[in-house]
């Protein structure tokens, strides 16, 4: 089995290859890995030939894919050129991401190639990041650390008017109660926080299991000390946090966004912070990414801004490689994968 392993500096080709070799060996298949790495994140990803958030040379990738049985990758550009190069041999594309935006799904479907992926692959990392940064921002730690690093000892952080809440005294509203939202709710419950959630598609039993009370959006805004975003980006959720939503939030609330930058109207958030209506914001995602040099939000002292790091952990890299190897092996042995992004009712078995 010739398997192209297109990695990067986070999930390397070597990591993918080791996982693929071990998994195919487990099901009785011999793997011949064909490794290639991009320099992401040292070099940014971009839109490439109609696919998004991709890094690497599609021409070089197409050369490797020709004659290959499978392609596994994190964010290599799986363009129409790459899919076309694999016609007649390529049986599956595996993507170690929650959404395969770096794959031309139309081209893959036309070629009869299933695209498997990993929803919720980084839920643990994102949930821990969300709660950790939430605590830091509520207590004013990023600004205090910046002051001290600049040589200024600011002891006024002990003034009652400046101190923040502990989580056990806070009401946290989650917008989106999918895999990440549910894990965040579990962690918050352990701290003793009251958790509200808004998600039209939420499973009431799952919400009850993690101690989250489902409410309408206006009620969430009015009652929450912290509003944390975990919704998928759709036309319905785009800029769900606009000027009206910010005005409806409890005065002094904290906004946390580790989901998508497009969920927030950046100009409206900047205005709300400038007017002092919010205590602050945690922003790990932006619109666009990276934010432009004239974007005021990352420079605000009340904003804890990070460069899209919520899902970065060693566990995410290692476990994603192992999981996608299992999905690819399932398809190659005629099974039905757990998560497939395009319709392909008859996976091609290959046991040779």
Q: Catalogue the active-site residues.
A: 260, 289, 308
User: How far apart are alpha carbons 334 and 247 in whole angstroms?
Assistant: 54
Residue 274 in 3-state DSSP? helix
User: How far apart are alpha carbons 258 and 49 in whole angstroms?
Assistant: 27
By the 10 Å C-beta count (0-12 exposed, 13-18 middle, 19+ buried), 99 is classed as: middle
Residues 6+ apart with CB under 8 A from 127: 180, 183, 184, 186, 187
Please answer whether residues 162 and 144 qualify as being in contact, where contact means their C-beta atoms are separated by less than 8 angstroms. no
How many of the other CB atoms lie within 10 Å of CB of 313?
Answer: 17
User: How far apart are alpha carbons 320 and 322 in whole angstroms?
Assistant: 5
């Amino acid at each position: 089995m010739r398997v192209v392993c297109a990695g990067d500096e986070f999930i390397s080709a070597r990591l993918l290859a080791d996982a693929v070799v071990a998994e195919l060996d487990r099901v009785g298949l011999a793997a011949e890995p064909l490794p290639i790495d991009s320099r992401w994140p040292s070099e940014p990803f971009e839109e490439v030939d109609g696919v998004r958030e991709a890094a690497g040379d599609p021409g070089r990738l197409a050369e490797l894919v020709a004659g290959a049985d499978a392609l596994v990758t994190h964010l290599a550009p799986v363009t129409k050129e790459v899919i076309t190069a694999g016609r007649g041999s390529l049986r599956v594309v595996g993507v170690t991401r929650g959404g395969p935006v770096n794959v031309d799904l139309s081209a893959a479907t036309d070629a009869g190639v299933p695209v498997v992926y990993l929803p919720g692959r980084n839920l643990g990392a994102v949930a821990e990041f969300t709660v950790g940064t939430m605590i830091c921002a509520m207590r004013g730690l990023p600004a205090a650390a910046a002051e001290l690093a600049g040589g200024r000892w600011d002891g006024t952080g002990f003034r009652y008017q400046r101190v923040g809440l502990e989580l056990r005294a806070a009401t946290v509203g989650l917008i989106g109660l999918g895999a990440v939202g549910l894990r965040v709710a579990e962690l918050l419950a352990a701290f003793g926080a009251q958790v509200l959630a808004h998600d039209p598609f939420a499973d009431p039993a799952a919400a009850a299991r993690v101690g989250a009370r489902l409410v309408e959006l206006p009620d969430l805004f009015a009652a929450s000390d912290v509003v944390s975003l975990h919704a998928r980006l759709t036309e319905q959720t785009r800029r769900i946090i606009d000027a009206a939503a910010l005005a409806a939030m409890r005065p002094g609330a904290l906004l946390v966004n580790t989901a998508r930058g497009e969920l927030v109207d950046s100009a409206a958030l900047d205005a709300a912070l400038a007017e002092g209506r919010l205590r602050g914001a945690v922003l790990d995602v932006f619109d666009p990414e990276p934010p432009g040099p004239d974007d005021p939000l990352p420079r605000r002292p009340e904003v804890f801004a990070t460069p899209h790091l919520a899902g970065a952990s060693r566990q995410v890299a290692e476990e994603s490689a192992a999981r996608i190897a299992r999905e690819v092996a399932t398809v190659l042995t005629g099974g039905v994968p757990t998560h497939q992004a395009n319709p392909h009712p008859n996976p091609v078995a290959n046991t040779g």
